[in-house]
Amino acid sequence: MTGAEVLLKALEEVGVEVIFGFPGGAVLPIYDALYNNGKIKHVRTVHEQGAAHAADGYARATGRVGVVMSTSGPGATNLVTGIATAYMDSVPMVVLAGQVSTDLIGRDSFQEVDICGITLPITKHSFMLRDKREIVKTVKQAFHIARSGRPGPVVIELPKDVMAASTSMEEQKLDPDLCFKAHSERTNCCQWEEGLKEAAELIRQAERPVIYAGGGVKLSGASSVLLELAEKVHSPVATTLMGIGCFPQGHELYLGMLGMHGTPWANLAVSECDLLVAVGARFDDRVTGKADEFARNAKIIHIDIDSAEIGKNVRADLALTGDAKEVLSRLVGMVLEKRHDDWLKRIKQFKEKYTAKDLKGRLTPRYVMEEISRLTGGRAIIATEVGQHQMWAAQYYKFEDSSNFITSGGLGTMGFGLPAAIGAKIGRPDKIVFDIAGDGSFEMNCHELLTALRYDVPVIVVVFNNRSLGMVRQWQDMFYGGRFSHSSLGEGTDYSKIAQGFGVAGYRAESCEELRKALKKAMDSEKPAVIEVLIDKDEKVLPIVPPGKPIYHMLGID
**What residues are labeled active site?**
48, 110-111, 160, 471
CA pseudo-torsion sign 182, 185, 187, 189: negative
In order, the DSSP letters of 78-108 are TTHHHHHHHHHTT--EEEEEEE--GGGTTTT
CA distance 7 to 413: 31
Classified as helix, coil or strand, 197 is helix
Residue type, 505: A
Instruction: Give the residue ranges of DSSP H helices in 156-214.
Output: 160-164, 178-188, 193-205
The answer to whether 399 and 378 have CB atoms below 8 angstroms apart is: yes
CA distance 207 to 343: 7
The answer to whether 406 and 244 have CB atoms below 8 angstroms apart is: no
Contacts of 449 (CB under 8 A, 6+ apart): 418, 461, 499, 502, 504, 528, 530
Tell me how far CA of residue 87 lies from CA of 245, 364, 408, 448, 557, in angstroms.
Answer: 21, 34, 10, 22, 34
Q: Which residues pair with 97 in a beta bridge?
A: 70, 157
In order, the DSSP letters of 361-413 are TS--HHHHHHHHHHHHTT-SEEEE-SSHHHHHHHHH----STTSEE---SS--
Gyration radius from the chain CA atoms:
24
Helix axes 324-332, 223-233, angle to 10 degrees: 30
Question: Smallest Cα–Cα separation from 237: which of 292, 277, 289, 203?
Answer: 277
Contacts of 92 (CB under 8 A, 6+ apart): 59, 64, 65, 66, 86, 146, 147, 151, 152, 153
Classified as helix, coil or strand, 558 is coil
Classified as helix, coil or strand, 322 is coil
What is the total residue count of the chain?
558
Q: Which residues pair with 465 in a beta bridge?
A: 534
